[in-house]
């Protein structure tokens, strides 16, 4: 590593502060300190685990060394910098076997592995009808560090396997760093048979340090308030303005591409960083996506960039229908949106008849409201049918 391990995250954070990308926040500084402490512990454990040649006798000791490392669970409201901080940590951590995933995607992967094991067992290809131990073994071989964004448990199928799965993952020395909007003690609140889930909460809080990012400032709002979040027309400056807003919002965090799973299909996300995602209009509206896909995106990202929205006519009614559904979904979920478009909202759909023309009136109204400071502050009007 180029940076000293003990200050790897702090160095990157200080660079962002010095460049004016972010403002120094004492709550974030404490999170940075915790992340650097964790990275230092990971480096020490990594070194210690390589120093012995006791063979299989040391394998157990090695697992115990890693199992003693406490991860980190950062929770708080939107816009507090949780995802940015985890991304900085993920960039600089000494661990090479690492995985960053939305928690929902990780659990879908787990369910697929469980299903595959059960099918293999039916075919007589593997022994043992309990899929949890072999799945935990697979995951532990692949990944030493799991970084979860948007840790949330709403599904009873997830809730019922988490305790057994993570008991084994933690025993095998897997370390967890997570962001969430909720206190871990409130996970799966009011869920069916929640009493069966409580042991997992106790396990999790014993294996991670819990840090509440309770800063009074919503930095996502701070970056967007007063900014041109609806950019039109699509002239030479439109992309520059969009790029500048993206840079400000993501604090220079290294962008990545990823895929989100929804009902057995994958939704490509071309560019993502710091809780935001960036799409071309064609990515979202020229492909056969629907309301559930847009809802999946709304659950994964707090801000969406939608670029190059064209003027639509009757020949593009299918794209217009998807755009209507997309904006409805993002609006209903309070998602912040940055749009670059060929025309102002009132001029985006030019057909005068058909249901799309009627429905697009609502889209126009919502697009106008979604660039208001009240909407960006989380105060949508909820008056549009």
Residue 264 is predicted with a pLDDT of 79
Q: Is the domain 219-376 a CATH 3.30.460 member?
A: no
pLDDT digits (tens, 9 = 90+) for 155-188: 888 888 999 999 999 999 999 999 998 899 999 8
Percent of the chain whose pLDDT exceeds 70: 92
Lowest mean pLDDT: which of 45-54, 240-249, 371-380? 45-54
Q: Which residue has the higher pLDDT, 242 or 222?
A: 242
Closest to 285 (Cα-Cα) out of 314, 326, 330: 326
The CATH number of 5-212, from 1.25.40, 2.70.40, 1.10.760, 3.40.50, is: 3.40.50
pLDDT tens, position by position, 76-102: 877 788 888 998 999 999 999 999 988
Radius of gyration from C-alpha coordinates of the chain = 23
Residue 302 makes CB contacts below 8 A (sequence gap 6+) with 78, 79, 220, 275, 276, 335, 336
The answer to whether residue 135 scores a pLDDT higher than 90 is yes
Instruction: State if pTM tops 0.85.
Output: no
- Residue 378's pLDDT band (boundaries 50, 70, 90)? confident
pLDDT score recorded for residue 158:
87
Neighbouring C-beta atoms of residue 234, cutoff 10 Å? 18
Q: How confident is the model at residue 58 (pLDDT cuts 50, 70, 90)?
A: low
Query: How far is Cα of residue 360 from the mean position of the Cα atoms in its chain?
Result: 30
Max CA separation in the chain (angstroms): 78
- At residue 223, the pLDDT reads 64
Name the band, by pLDDT with cuts 50, 70 and 90, for residue 304.
very high
Query: By percentage, how much of the chain surpasses pLDDT 90?
Result: 51
- The model's pLDDT over 264-280, given as tens digits with 9 standing for 90+, comes to 789 999 999 988 999 99
- pLDDT (average), residues 271-299: 92
Q: Give the per-residue pLDDT at 383.
A: 38
As a whole number of angstroms, the distance between CA 95 and CA 71 comes to: 13
- 219-376 matches 5-212 in CATH topology: yes
Give the separation between CA 108 and CA 298, rounded to whole angstroms: 17
Q: In this predicted structure, what is the pLDDT of residue 1?
A: 44
CB 9 within 8 A of CB 89: yes
Distances (CA, A) of 103 to 191, 214, 243, 364: 17, 22, 28, 34
Domain ranges of the chain: 5-212, 219-376
Phi-psi region of 311 (alpha: psi -120 to 50; beta: other; left: phi over 0): beta
Rounded-to-integer distance, Cα 153 and Cα 158, Å: 7
Burial of 302 (0-12, 13-18, 19+ CB in 10 A): buried
Mean pLDDT of 326-345: 92
């Amino acid at each position: 590593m180029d940076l000293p391990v003990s200050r790897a995250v702090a160095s990157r954070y200080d660079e962002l502060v010095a460049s004016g990308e972010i403002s120094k926040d004492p709550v974030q500084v404490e999170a940075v300190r915790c992340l650097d402490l964790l990275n230092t512990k990971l480096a020490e454990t990594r070194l210690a685990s390589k120093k012995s040649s006791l063979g299989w006798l040391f394998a157990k000791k090695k697992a115990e060394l890693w199992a003693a490392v406490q991860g980190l669970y950062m929770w708080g409201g939107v816009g507090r910098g949780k995802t940015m901080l985890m991304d900085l940590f993920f960039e600089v951590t000494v661990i090479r076997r690492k995985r960053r995933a939305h928690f929902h995607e990780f659990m879908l992967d787990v369910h697929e592995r469980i299903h595959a094991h059960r099918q293999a067992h039916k075919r007589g290809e593997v022994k043992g009808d309990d899929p949890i131990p072999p799945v935990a073994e697979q995951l532990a071989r692949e990944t030493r560090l799991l970084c979860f964004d948007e840790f949330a448990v709403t599904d009873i199928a997830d809730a019922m396997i988490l305790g057994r799965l993570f008991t084994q993952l933690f025993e095998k020395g897997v370390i967890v760093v997570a962001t969430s909007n909720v206190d871990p003690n409130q996970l799966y609140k009011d869920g069916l048979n929640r009493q069966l889930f409580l042991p997992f909460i106790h396990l999790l809080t014993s294996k991670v340090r819990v840090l509440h990012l309770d800063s009074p400032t919503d930095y996502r709002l701070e970056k967007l308030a007063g900014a041109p979040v609806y950019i039109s027309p699509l002239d030479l400056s439109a992309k520059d303005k969009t790029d500048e807003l993206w840079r400000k919002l993501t604090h220079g965090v290294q962008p990545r591409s990823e895929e989100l799973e929804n009902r057995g299909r994958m939704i490509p996300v071309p560019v993502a960083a710091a809780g935001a995602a960036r799409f071309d209009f064609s990515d979202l509206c020229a492909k056969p996506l629907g309301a559930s896909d847009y809802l999946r995106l709304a659950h994964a990202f707090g801000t969406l960039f939608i670029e190059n929205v064209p003027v639509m006519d009757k020949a593009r009614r299918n794209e217009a229908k998807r755009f209507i559904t997309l904006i409805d979904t993002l609006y209903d979920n309070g998602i912040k949106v940055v749009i670059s478009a060929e025309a102002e909202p009132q001029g985006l759909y030019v057909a005068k008849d058909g249901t799309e023309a009627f429905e697009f009136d609502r889209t126009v109204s919502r697009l106008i409201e979604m660039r208001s400071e009240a909407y960006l502050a989380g105060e949508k009007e909820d008056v549009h049918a």
